[in-house]
Amino acid sequence: MSGHSQSNFDAAPALREIAREYAEINIDYFAGRLSPVPLVLSDSTSLLGCYRRDPRRIEISRTLVLSQPWGSVVEVLKHEMAHQFVFEVLGESESETSHGPTFQRVCERLGIDARASGLPDAKPERSPLLERIRKLLALADSPNQHEAETAMRMAHRLMLKHNLERPDVEDTAANYGFRHVGRSTGRISEVESLLAGLLGEFFFVQPIWVSVFRVGDRKRVSVLEITGRHENLAMAEYVHGFLLHAAESLWRDHKKKHGIRRDTERRAFLAGVIRGFAEKLRRERKSEEAAGLVWVADPRSDSYFARRHPRVRSTRYTSSANTQASSHGRAAGRDIVLSRPIAEGPSKTTRALPS
């Protein structure tokens, strides 16, 4: 998206997609009670979006569309539609400010970001929990396999205990959010689907594939969205990038070791790696359960997810055959140790775990 300039940007396709999003949001979130308004791209550099009463319209920043992921555009649109709902449907006008109690209640009920400024789902403040996790993962870099495995288990156990000991009285909706992780794609691969399932099974987030518009090539594609507590989102995003990078590195080692020249079996091997790592985590979970650390669903997380996705769509993928490459990948995946964040790597999804 950064390759587009304001001067040569054709706004028509983006506006068509924004209109499509408006129609779907109106049905899913507002029960079709909103009367469609003109949608325009503004040249404002100070406002991400704006609902105007006179002339009646919703403006979305052209800079936002060109510089930010489509998910951010959709969240800003939801915010402005909530303003429209409060004014046109609920009739709140002069009685309170535009971001007053009624608007806040509507956003809370629908899972919409109610903040008056800033990009949706801004990252949380510095987290003491993530700082402790980061230090443990640094220890997992130890050349001693036993020490490395112990450090990784301690890091995951710390996340588990944090989620089990969550103080419900302080656990407000503001503690929950979403992130889009990985690449946007026209076709969800088996390894991407398995990795999404792994995050949902072991890292306290809820994954879902959502449709987004890729402005650069004007295509509808899918991207992985995860929802949950902010600390869990940061950890899951890190794990996602780490495992993709690790799987690719293991494939290169496998090719070199066995004198393989082509990437014909690459996808099967990568999927095997994710399966193998999931098997490893399942074994470790049994020891956690034996110690009395049993994870149960988080009702607030479930509620947040349900508000964001009133209509859940399922996605199918084709499973690879149990080939030799898949078996080799599985064996390699069982030996992966989550360690300190990787500064750089071949995968664009690689992320450092924030402090």
pLDDT tens for residues 282-316?
Answer: 988 888 877 777 777 788 888 889 888 887 754 45
Burial of 99 (0-12, 13-18, 19+ CB in 10 A): middle
- Indicate the pLDDT class of residue 19, thresholds 50, 70 and 90: very high
**Any bridge partners for residue 50, and if so which?**
59
Q: Where in the chain is the domain with CATH 3.30.2010.10?
A: 11-110
Report percent pLDDT > 90 for the chain: 52
How would you label 77-92 residue by residue, b for 16+ Cβ within 10 Å and e otherwise?
bbbbbbbbbbbbeeeb
Best-predicted range by mean pLDDT (96-110, 118-132, 150-164, 327-341):
96-110
The whole-number pLDDT of residue 170 equals 54
Helix runs in 33-188, H state only? 62-67, 70-84, 101-110, 128-139, 145-164
Mean pLDDT of all residues in 8-27:
92
Q: Rounded distance, CA 225 to CA 215, Å? A: 18
Q: How far apart are CA 152 and CA 131, in angstroms?
A: 14
Tell me how crowded residue 122 is: count the other CB atoms within 10 A of its CB: 12
Closest to 11 in 3D by CA, of 50, 45, 43 = 43
Cβ-contact 80, 48 below 8 angstroms: no
Report the mean per-residue pLDDT for the chain: 84
Residue 247 above 90 pLDDT? yes
Residue 185 CA: distances (Å) to CA of 15, 75, 209, 274: 21, 20, 10, 19
User: Does 351 have pLDDT greater than 70?
Assistant: no
pLDDT digits (tens, 9 = 90+) for 183-236: 999 999 999 999 999 999 999 999 999 999 999 889 999 999 999 998 899 989
Inter-residue contact 181 to 240 (CB < 8 Å): yes
Q: What is the DSSP letter of 54?
A: T
Phi, psi at 296, each rounded to 5°: -120, 160
For β-strands 206-214 and 176-185, DSSP reports them as: unpaired
Could you tell me the two tokens for 303?
């509620």
Query: In DSSP terms, which residues pair with 226 in a beta bridge?
Result: 179, 207
Instruction: Report how far residue 114's alpha carbon sits from residue 22's, in angstroms, rounded to the nearest whole number.
Output: 18
Please check the confidence at residue 2 and state whether its pLDDT lies above 50. no
Please compute the mean of the pLDDT values over residues 324-331 and round it to a whole number. Answer: 91
pLDDT digits (tens, 9 = 90+) for 72-124: 999 999 999 999 999 999 987 666 788 899 999 999 889 898 887 666 655 55
CB-hemisphere CA count at 13 Å for 185? 14
What strands lie across the sheet with 56-61, from one edge to the other?
39-42, 56-61, 49-53
Pairing of strands 219-229, 206-214: antiparallel
Model confidence at 275: pLDDT above 90: yes
Query: Which residues contact residue 251 at a Cβ distance below 8 angstroms, ignoring those fewer than 6 apart?
Result: 266, 269, 270, 273, 329
Q: Residue 252: count other Cβ atoms within 10 Å of its Cβ.
A: 12
Question: Residue 182 — very low, low, confident or very high, per pLDDT cuts 50/70/90?
Answer: very high
**If you average pLDDT over each of 20-29, 39-48, 304-313, 346-355, which comes out highest?**
20-29
- Lowest mean pLDDT: which of 88-92, 138-142, 157-161? 138-142
Mean pLDDT of 26-40: 96
pLDDT at residue 352 greater than cutoff 60: no
Percent of the chain at pLDDT > 70 equals 83
Check whether the bond before 55 is cis (ω within 30° of 0): yes
The rounded distance, in Å, linking the Cα atoms of 341 and 337 is 12
For the chain, the helix, strand and coil percentages under 3-state DSSP, each to the nearest 5: 50, 15, 35
Please name the CATH architecture into which domain 11-110 falls: 2-Layer Sandwich (3.30)
pLDDT at 246: 92
CB atoms within 10 A of CB 69: 17
Q: What was the pLDDT predicted at 162? A: 81
